[in-house]
A and B are shown apart, each in its own frame.
Chain A
């Protein structure tokens, strides 16, 4: 243990050294850029008249019905599955039904209130269901890697591109939407927007300090066409993905 502490201290010292070097270099690097651009170093925020999407695009919005239809079309067109469900009970039954059908033995889910409310544990007595980061001693990446099914609730979704957004947090592992073979994403209907921009703008508004370490947009199953242009599903991430639109 003492050795590890010592090497960690040495590493921290090295990182500090590197930071000092980086800060010194930063000045010459930026000054070099300014000189090449033939202007004095810019310290003030420049006016950016073309920020973000075009004006007409910002006004574009679908009705809820259209959002659901378009999202489902997009999700299915890339090989994903969609279910339209009306309440938590239906979500629970759907997930439990699929889990039994697929013979899932290990399930990992985020520690989210929306998912607690489902009561999956009672519906799937034969499967081992782990709740992300509920025990600090557990090796959570391994739990996610062994899982047949991962269950997450979406933070946002965008119909136009057929994308779901999940944010990382203490209770929301990035691995849960990545390592299992099958992914179930619960999308509360009010979080389904029309455009990607409606989701992205939240991160600008929140500002750096409020951002999670990982913001992930998922638009279907993991895929590749790297071998002879032949589409393969589930190359690294989940190959079977369900979008469960609720409400």
Chain B
């Protein structure tokens, strides 16, 4: 991540790379549309979708609001199941514990199923430094690991690779030329990874949900690799974000209803596994030793912050990515971090608490609210993006030119005759650059805009000129702001006045 970040420091530059890659853009668009339509159909088929979303939100809100109780309960129950539980305040600490276990077990290889937390920690690299081979076993993750890249989508990590590129990568591993045929390629991976599963010393997983009342961890997947990782090796390590908790199996029904439908449009993923500790003494498979590492790594900063606490409700389905018009154009890598799309734009600076470094990510959004509409637990991501932008400006990381421009704009707009005068001037001045009613020149400040778009010219009769008539016409038909949104915004303002946002004070 840092490599990509350092070479192309701004979202704009990274996005330009993506925008120039025709295949990537098409692949991202095609996949996100497929997933988005799948989700739309699945949620419509199921029915009462908004009620389910609300229930999901309530369960997540309740659990996070009582996280000290539920997390503690989970820990006690997991321990009673025979799990070794560890706590990591930071990513480094989680890495150190993982490496300690690998060293104590004299592990040569670790097979991993998809885990966003592990991506967050850059664990594979760390394992390699102590001579332990780390193998991603999710088909898409395996491919991007071979390519030495980052996932570009939470659910479909290799969305940006075509099968010819994949055939090249796998042929290198095979030592022979593999046909660029999906069945051939997947068949090769099955065979190759079977060997890896059977010889690995440690299996490492993430955790979709952790059930407080029974100390169980739950995994959703389609390939069966997470089952492999939790069944075959002698030692299992699970990395779990501290917020993954839900109270009970009953609550899991709601999450199991929301997550697969939102992620891929499935009624349920092919496998859903609840694992409660290492194998029982009479069992003939399952791990002998099981560790769960509970990771904070910036998550607790959101607790008690009225603007961002709901971020912890996220169930990592990726629906906001698929719904986001910006993500669909620039793809995941342009976000330059583990989490991409709208959730990444908010989560990354929130977890890293360095708004300055990630400042432009919050701008990679049109604030259209499609992410909120798509979110199965109703996280108001578009509002959070505004809060982020505000905090960035408040902490002195605003754009000086933009501030000056806004000031100038304010001066103009504050006085009607001033605005009228400048518009009249503009109508005369634009004659130099207008061709067929459009401005296409890329000189000076117009370059950024006109590289991809066309600036319209000032019309002969503007909206302002016609306002008096229009005003009469629509005076009675004015629509009010959606009451729920209005309430939310009012609440946010109120909480801010009460000294909220302390968690991000250091930005």
Q: Which residues of A contact B (CB under 8 A)?
A: 11, 14-15, 18-19, 22, 25-26, 29-34, 36-38, 41-46, 48-54, 56, 74, 78, 132-133, 140-141, 144-145, 160-163, 168-170, 173-175, 178, 195-197, 200-201, 203-204, 207-209, 211-230, 232, 234-238
Contacts and interface: CB of A to CB of B under 8 A. Distances in A.
Contacts of B157: 226
A215 B278 CA distance: 12
Given A22-B87, A229-B31, A217 B273 contact: yes
A197 B73 CA distance: 22
Which A-B residue pairs are the 6 nearest by beta carbons? A237-B224, A52-B250, A226-B140, A170-B282, A50-B58, A36-B303
B300 A51 contact: no
Nearest to A74: B267
A229 B75 CA distance: 39
Given A30-B71, A54-B51, A229-B31, A234 B190 contact: yes
B216 A211 contact: yes
Contacts of B222: 222-224, 235
Contacts of B197: 236
A213 B69 contact: no
B66 A42 contact: yes
B182 A230 contact: yes
A233 to B, nearest CB: 9
B419 to A, nearest CB: 47
A196 to B, nearest CB: 5
A228 B162 contact: yes
Contact of A196 (B140, B215, B253): B253
B271 A217 contact: yes
A26 B275 contact: no
B393 to A, nearest CB: 25
Given A37-B303, A141-B285, A237-B224, A163 B268 contact: yes
Nearest to A133: B284
Nearest to B185: A227
Contacts, number: 283
A138 to B, nearest CB: 8
Contact of B62 (A26, A41, A48, A211): A48
Nearest to A217: B272
B223 A222 contact: yes
A160 B23 CA distance: 38
B293 to A, nearest CB: 10
Interface of B: 27, 30-31, 34, 48, 51-52, 55, 58-59, 62, 65-69, 71-72, 75, 77, 79-81, 84-87, 89, 104-105, 137-140, 143, 156-158, 161-163, 166, 182-183, 185-186, 189-190, 193-194, 197-198, 213-216, 222-225, 227-228, 230-232, 242, 247-254, 256-257, 266-280, 282-286, 294, 296, 300, 303-304, 503
B68 A30 contact: yes
Contact of B273 (A25, A38, A175, A214): A214
Contact of B186 (A11, A56, A224, A237): A224
Contacts of B277: 213
Contacts of A78: 270
A37 B300 CA distance: 9
Contact of B268 (A33, A169, A215, A217): A217
A48 B247 contact: yes
B62 A236 contact: no
Given A41-B68, A213-B286, A227 B253 contact: no
